[in-house]
Amino acid sequence: MTTRKRILVTGAAGYIGVHVVRALLARGADVLATHLPGQALPEPAAGVTWLEIDIFAPGAAAQVSDVDACVHLAWRAGFVHNDPVHVLNLSDHFRFLDELAAAGVGQIAVLGSMHEIGYHEGPIDETTAARPSSLYGVAKNALRQALELRFDASPTVFQWLRCFYVYGDDERGQSIFAKIARAAREGATTFPFTTGANRYDFLEVDELGDQIAAVVVQTTVTGVINCCSGTPVSLADQVESFIAERGFSIALEYGAFPDRPYDSPGVWGDATRIRQIMAAERS
């Protein structure tokens, strides 16, 4: 009989976390899901044990280490890229994951971000040099580098889940897509916008959750893995499609805001490794 994989998901009640939990359950995993006090939780589901815990508190890792793998999604102020909390919490993230590995958790997967890379034009793969330009990017990149050193030549399977531009689940998000959705539902008929010419790698949050779950239930592909579509799409095209799909009666005011000089005209993920994982899962 095959033993069901028991997987810890930190930040499980967050924007991405609820989709990862759902995708793991669909793959037959048992999930230990952590959340902070006061967070709204999804409907109860068979196979999920919810635990209210501050993972940075002393001894927290010992309370959640009876698992086969950890998907570490927890991160504070993720949408506020220059909040000092990103750097201030850096050692807490490292200590928690280090203690899990020391307690015998054999697989650690951590959510990364294309913001680790900083300004870049063209595709990003696992070897692309990182020059982060925000405190969020600096902290994510430093955590990745520290964990790569920590788990080098160790028995711990390490996976870095680098995500790109995420949309969907409009009520929970903080992206431009969520802001447009809220504006439309409040009766706005126009929305101030840039030229929308920049091209990015967009992925719907439910699909991101599916990709992350597919990565974690296997251990053949490790290291940096881009969770992405691999296809650059202009911001204008993606937003117009989003508005049309949801039937919103709202028009973009092109040029109301200038394009930011520090945004790349085109950046996307190299999807080679995630496509390999998804293809192996389907075969």
pTM attached to this predicted model: 0.95
* Second-level CATH architecture of 6-166+202-231+267-282: 3-Layer(aba) Sandwich (3.40)
- The active-site residue out of 15, 119, 136, 165 is 136
Q: Is 167 tagged catalytic?
A: no
- Please say whether the beta carbons of 10 and 73 come within 8 A: yes
Domain assignments of the chain as residue spans, ordered by start: 6-166+202-231+267-282, 170-199+232-253
Per-residue pLDDT of the chain (283 residues; tens, 9 = 90+): 346 899 999 999 999 999 999 999 999 999 999 998 888 888 888 999 999 999 999 999 999 999 999 999 999 998 899 999 999 999 999 999 999 999 999 999 999 999 999 999 999 999 999 999 999 999 999 999 999 999 999 999 999 999 999 999 877 777 899 999 999 999 999 999 999 999 999 999 999 999 999 999 999 999 999 999 999 999 999 999 999 999 999 999 999 999 877 789 999 999 999 999 999 999 8
